[in-house]
Chains A and B, each alone.
Chain A
Amino acid sequence: MNIYGFLGFVCGVAVSVLLVWVLLRRFNTDGKTKTEYDERQKVTRGVGFMYAFYVLAAWVVVLIAIDMMEVKLPVTDTVLYFTGIVVSGLFLSWYCIMHDAYWGMNSNVKFYTRFLIAIGALNIIAGIGEIVSGDMVVDGVLSNLFINFEAGILILGIGVFLLIKKHRDGKDSAEDDDEVTESGI
C-alpha cells in the first residue's frame, strides 16, 4: 500500500468512527453514546448474551465437524463464519425483545427503527441486485456478496421479532386490565 492508499484508509477509518459516534448519540434520546438499561434488563441481556454465545459455539462446532469430515460446502468460509454471527445475533435479539430488554431506558425508538429499516432495505436490495446480476454465485460457490443479504436478513428478523412482540404486548395489556378489575383494585 502506498502513502496515498494508507492516507485514504486512515481517512476512511476516521470518518467511520465519527459517523458511528454521531449515530450512537442519535440512537439515544439524551444524546449519550451509551444506552442505559435498568437492573432487570441488564440481567436479562446477560442471559441473552450467554445463550447467544452457546449458539455461536454450537455453530463453530458444526463448522469444525464439517471441516473434519472434509465436506466441501458451496459457500465461502467468510459467509459460513458470518452466518454464525447472524444466527447468534438473531437469537440474542429474539431473547432481548421477548423479555423487554431490547430497548434501553433512553433509546430513541423512532430514529433507531427508521435506521434499521433503511439499513435493512439497503442490504436486501443490494443482495437482490447481486442475485439478479448473477454475482452472488461464482463457479457454483456462494460468494462473499451474500454477507450483505445476510445482514439484511438479520435486520429484517429483528423487525419481525419487534412486530411479534408488539402484537403480544397488545394482548397482554388487555389481560392486565381484566386482572385489575377482577382483583377489585
Chain B
Amino acid sequence: MKNLRMKAARVSKDLSQDQLAKAIGVSRQTINAIEKGDYNPTINLCIAICKALDKTLDELFWEEQE
C-alpha cells in the first residue's frame, strides 16, 4: 500500500526524496520504495523518518482499521 501520508509530509517540508534520504542515511530509492509501498521499513528507519519530518509514528505509519 502506498504511503501517501509520508509523501505529503515530505513535500510539505519542501524536501525531495534525495534530501530526506541523505538526512536519515539511506538511499533515495529506499525512500521511493517506502512511499510506493514496495518496502516495509524497520522500526528504526520509521523513527528516523518521523524525526526528520517532525511527525509521529501514528501519523505516518499507523493504518486505521475500518
Contacts and interface: CB of A to CB of B under 8 A. Distances in A.
A29 interface: no
Interface residues of A, number: 11
A40 B32 contact: no
Contacts of B45: 39
Contacts of A83: none
B27 A38 contact: yes
A40 B4 contact: no
Contact of A105 (B7, B8, B11, B25): B25
Given A40-B39, A105-B25, A185-B4, A176 B33 contact: no
Interface string A15-48: 0000000000000000000000011110000000
Chain B: number of interface residues, binned into ranges: 10 to 19
Interface majority SS on A: helix, strand, loop or mixed? loop
Interface in A144-185: 176, 180, 183, 185
Nearest to A103: B27
Interface majority SS on B: helix, strand, loop or mixed? helix
A41 B26 CA distance: 9
A40 B26 contact: yes
Given A100-B33, A176-B32, A38 B26 contact: yes
B6 to A, nearest CB: 11
A41 B7 contact: no
Contacts of B44: 39
Interface of A: 38-41, 100, 103, 105, 176, 180, 183, 185
Interface of B: 4, 7-8, 11, 25-27, 29-30, 32-33, 39, 41-42, 44-45
Given A39-B30, A176-B32, A185-B7, 4 more contacts: A39-B44, A100-B30, A105-B25, A185-B8
26 contacts: A38-B26, A38-B27, A38-B30, A39-B30, A39-B41, A39-B42, A39-B44, A40-B26, A40-B29, A40-B39, A40-B41, A41-B27, A41-B30, A100-B27, A100-B29, A100-B33, A103-B27, A105-B25, A105-B27, A180-B7, A183-B7, A183-B8, A185-B4, A185-B7, A185-B8, A185-B11
